[in-house]
């Protein structure tokens, strides 16, 4: 490297740093952080029982965060945590069995988590969301069809958005394999589980610039 290059290098690096600092706030301005409102969130599931009816239930404790890229929503991210101990099928004995090692084994693995890995546009305000779902310490990808509403302001002046997501999975993939064969053929509990999540997102307060 010659003397002239040494002379201009500090100026070049300084201008590059200044440009990066100038662009960083612009990039961050497109991102907004939102939290799931537990009071307006339901995480429901349904599964066939004895091949003749459908049993439905939900988890009563759900939390999560969403970072939305307002310029390109496919760059957004979603994280959800469900307390498996809060399972509720309106039948105490069944709920106790679902919390046991036969199913969720909540004493060892109380949390169910979902972390998005890919978002794809699927229409106006519609997305195909792929993410890692972890239950019983086992992680597999799942795909959710998601609808995101436009932003509105609630009566208290807070920005909110609605999200509806649905998908399906085979519970055996996560080790929830307990079952009993029926005398007439088939299984007591279906293996395919339908998922439905509806939530209200609340905008997080933006930290003041320093």
Distance of alpha carbon 99 from alpha carbon 77, whole angstroms: 29
**Better-predicted residue by pLDDT, 187 or 60:** 60
Instruction: List pLDDT tens digits, range 97-132.
Output: 999 999 999 999 999 999 999 999 999 899 999 999
79 located within any domain:
yes
The pLDDT score that the predictor gives to residue 9 is: 44
Query: What CATH code is carried by the domain that includes residue 199?
Result: 2.40.128.110
d(CA 22, CA 20): 5
Residues 77-90 have pLDDT tens digits of 999 999 999 999 99
Radius of gyration for the chain, computed over Cα atoms and rounded to the nearest angstrom: 23
Q: Is 36 contained in some domain? A: yes
The helices-and-strands tally (H runs, E runs) of the chain is 2, 11
Q: Is the pLDDT of residue 40 over 80?
A: yes
Residue 65 banded pLDDT, cuts 50, 70, 90: very high
Contact 47, 54 (CB under 8 A): yes
Query: Tell me, what's the pLDDT at 182?
Result: 67
Please give the pLDDT value at position 19.
47
* Domain of residue 193, residue span: 30-203
- Does 145 fall in a domain? yes
Give the rounded percent of residues in the chain with a pLDDT score beyond 90: 67
Would you say residue 116 lies in a domain? yes
Whether 24 has a pLDDT exceeding 90, the answer reads no
For 156-210, how does the pLDDT look when each residue is reduced to its tens digit (9 = 90+)?
899 999 999 999 999 999 998 888 876 666 677 889 999 999 999 999 876 554 5
Cα(205)–Cα(82) distance, rounded to whole angstroms? 24
- Structurally, the chain folds into a number of domains equal to 1
Higher pLDDT, 53 or 151: 151
């Amino acid at each position: 490297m010659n003397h002239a290059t040494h002379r201009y290098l500090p100026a070049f690096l300084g201008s590059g740093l200044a440009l990066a600092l100038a662009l960083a706030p612009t990039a961050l301005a497109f991102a907004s952080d939102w939290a799931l409102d537990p009071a307006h969130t339901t995480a429901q599931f349904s599964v066939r029982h004895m091949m003749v009816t459908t049993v439905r239930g939900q988890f009563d404790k759900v939390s999560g965060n969403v970072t939305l890229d307002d310029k390109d929503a496919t760059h957004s991210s979603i994280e959800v945590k469900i307390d498996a101990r809060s399972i509720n099928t309106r039948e105490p004995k069944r709920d106790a069995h679902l919390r046991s090692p036969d199913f969720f084994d909540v004493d060892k693995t109380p949390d169910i988590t979902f972390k998005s890995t890919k978002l794809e546009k699927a229409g106006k305000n519609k997305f195909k969301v792929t993410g890692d779902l972890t239950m019983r310490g086992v992680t597999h990808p799942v795909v959710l069809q998601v609808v995101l509403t436009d932003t509105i302001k609630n009566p208290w002046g807070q920005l909110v958005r609605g999200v509806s997501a649905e998908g399906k999975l085979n519970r055996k993939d996560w080790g929830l394999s307990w079952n009993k064969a029926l005398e007439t053929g088939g299984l007591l509990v279906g293996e395919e589980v339908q998922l439905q999540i509806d939530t209200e997102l609340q905008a997080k307060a933006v930290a003041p610039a320093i």
